[in-house]
Structure 1
Amino acid sequence: MRSIHFISGLPRSGSTLLAALLRQNPRFHAGMSGPLAGMVNAMLGEMSDRNEFSMFITHEQRRRVVQGLFENYYGDEFAGEVLFDTSRAWCSKLPALCALFPNLKMIACVRHVSWVIDSLERVVRNNALQPSSIFNFQTGGTVYSRAEGVANGEGMVGHAYNALKEAFYGEHAQHLMLLQYETLVSDPAKAMAAVYEFIGEPPFQHDFDNVHFDADAFDARAGTPGLHTVGRKVVARTRSTLLPPDVFRRFENDAFWLNAQANPRGVRVV
């Protein structure tokens, strides 16, 4: 199989922008979050002991079946010598992925959690007449219930955050690099140089003034137009938060990756 790496981390933290930049390189294929993580979870569940016939499935068969998901999903439909698959779930699957692809690298996109919550709330408010799949198309709620919903352990942000910490402090952390959204948008050349060094690929001259990524159809179906919109030019934009002060303060100290003393495995943070 071709080389494969993974993009994971927190939502609203630059993974789509990173994919849009990577795909400028004709040797690479990258995209927004896809179905493979869910397919892997489903297949592992079906091969577990909840299946009365699991006694007929050996460890080697299990490995081949799961690896086959990747090989057959990508097949010949996707060009590129190097594949990047994106999902917030991949951080929680790092041990399994390392068993399948020992040479993998995982780039986890991170951002101050307060601004992640702010960004999600902004998308919801920009589509005030169209309920979002993020909240199961429910029409009620407030900024407080929405923040609580995405931040709890099973929520979009909370689950990704916990998975990120699991990978960061886990035994396979040498496969992990954290890419800060703030770095990616303020110094994209530095960010991309670090990515190429991390994955061991020769540098490529990216065009940060002409970035293209189209996920309008997906976003519209999810009831969140603009969720994966990428600006034509990579630029850091300053703005005021629209979150109430107490909601914003609740998450302002959650950027654990900024504490060098709390990085026992020496994960690179760019």
Structure 2
Amino acid sequence: MSEETARRWGSTLDSVVVYAEGAVCRRLARGAVPPDGRVRVAGLPRTLDPGSLRARVLGPAGVRVTEARVEVASEPLDGDASDALRREVERLRDAHAAAEGRRDRQRTLIAEVEGLHPVPPARKHGEPHRRTAVDAWLELADFVDGRLARLHARLAELEEELRRAEHALSVAADRLDRASTDAPDEHVETSVCAVLTLDGAAGGEAPADVELELEYGVPGAVWVPAYRLSHRRDDDGGRLVLRASVAQRTGEDWTGVRLALATADLRRRTDLPRLRSVRIGRRQAAPAPSGWREPPAGLSD
């Protein structure tokens, strides 16, 4: 394992606080710190606000973060992924066409069997009427009914197979469309990492195992409340239910992540206000303006 590979840590999204506009995400990372104390925590989204990155050490004691910055790395895209998806779509398209052909042939066979019916021979001139072969007609009808029952059962299986092939083709085609529109034109993949410098991580020559917490803000997240009040007539109280609809396009998967909701504005100003000075005492007259003023520049010349 190279030194560059050892410095890169993976991270998991632990919790998210969704504000009126935007969200604050919390990630956890753990790993062995190299002797120089510099690590890269991967897995951060592209929509990360670089100025909102915060990092702190959860353990062990005595280790602290002295520097935290965002680094964007670029790597050539792997073209095999798109080619594999394209080949999969072509294979599924051929399978769908084959299933559709089998379904059509089965329908043609059913139409041919349905066309079977007894035809009495033509009576010649002067020939007396013949008796109808009822037994043969009934045997033919039983044969046609049994044959159609088996053909229709097979047709149901072929239609189900065609439906599954059509669904698989639509899913693969949608995946290919998403992959083609998501890839940048330059065929370069960008990854966002947090570059951290840790102090006191290495004791002697053995690197320490450190757990980190990263917090950062991302736009593209919003939640909308919905209130429902239930009240019965002649009752003193009721029931108020709050439901929240959360929508996000931050580039991260929030499945299984703890969510918290806040009504505050994430981008509000948090700097301290400048207080005006107040003088307590008797009012004094403003001093008279002095007649002195600076001489103009270049007077000596």
User: TM-score per shorter chain, which class?
Assistant: under 0.3
Q: Which structure: larger Rg?
A: 2
TM-score w.r.t. length of structure 1: 0.23
The two structures have a TM-score, normalised by structure 2, of 0.21
| Structure with the larger RCO, 1 or 2 (CA within 8 Å, 6+ apart) | 2
